[in-house]
Amino acid sequence: MSKLTDKAKSISFDDEDETPAAAPAPVDRPRTAMGAISASIAMGRGVEAENRDLRAKLERFEDATIVEFLDPKRIKPSRFANRHELSFAGAEFEGLKAEIQAAGRNVQPIKVRRVGQGGDGQDEYEIAFGHRRHRACLELGLPVAAIVEVLTDAQLFTEMERENRERQDLSPWEQGVMYKRAIDDGLFPSLRRLATSIGAQVGNVSTAIQLASLPPEVIEAFPSPLSLQFRWGAALKAAIDKSPDDVLAQARELAAMTPKLAAKEVLARLTGAGASTTREAPVQITSKGKVVGLWDKDPKGNVSVQIKAGSLSAAKERRLREFLEKLFD
């Protein structure tokens, strides 16, 4: 056992091909306590700078306006919509459509709020502002660029009103319709509260509502509601208060005319419709002591002149017509 045992004990089981493990590199530690403190401070400053940078990036992200591209078919007009249908027709609207088509999108986004989901589970929206841009995209078959926000009814109304007033592209009548609807729906408890919320004068809001509150017959007498002016509201209301039947009758006649008269002419006729409620006696036209005709004016202000047959020669009739025509130049 002695020799065999000794040989066994002398056998090495280590792998001759295995390379010895390298010693770990020494850690670069500060050699003094002061060095350790300085290193800790430097690390803290680095972390603080990184945190500041991250906070700045987060603030920029939070302040960023996110624009989504939505299917215009899933967006409906606001119930406070103030656009008359004529605002979606004509050269100006066609120009807007051409601009959007050339750009491939509406460059200025509209604003909407979510109002639920359709039967297919997809979100649906209501417009806060941008009704014409939405209509243009809808007609062109283009997705509409939109900002989606959570808005109450009052916030939606305020956003819509301020956007349109700043763009100055709403007619006085459209503004009045919007204000009147907000009051009628109880969105604001008073004209003053409404005016305060949109930053407008109470008097201006009241004047606009007065214009939108005119009878439908009066509105239809004009070539377009968009032609009505703020300053006309008081005059029209005064004429209606004085002689409502005459004004409404005159308005119906004007509405039936084809083509309709210019807006200023309609205003003149309506505000003068109740000026005289009794028929004036016809005035005789005399020549050399003989009655040759009559001058007659009805309660609506229409004037007629009758000349007896044979009183004027053909040449004088022609001169009379020419004279009358010159009166209207």
CA distance 243 to 239: 6
Segment 58-78 mean pLDDT = 77
CB 134 within 8 A of CB 143: no
Segment 2-27 mean pLDDT = 48
Which range, 22-36, 45-59, 120-134, 307-321, is most confident? 120-134
* Residue closest to 254 by CA, chosen among 303, 281, 215: 215
197-209 confidence digits (pLDDT tens)? 888 899 999 999 9
Cis bond before residue 259 (omega within 30° of 0): yes
Segment 68-80 mean pLDDT = 92
CA distance 285 to 262: 33
Q: Which of 28-37, 256-265, 271-280 has the lowest mean pLDDT?
A: 28-37
Give me the pLDDT at residue 11, please: 47
CA distances from 164 to 81, 113, 193, 292 (A): 11, 17, 19, 61
Segment 36-47 mean pLDDT = 58
Q: Which of 11-20, 174-183, 275-284 has the lowest mean pLDDT?
A: 11-20
Q: Which of 16-20, 73-77, 296-300 has the lowest mean pLDDT?
A: 16-20
CA distance 47 to 68: 36
CA distance 314 to 321: 11
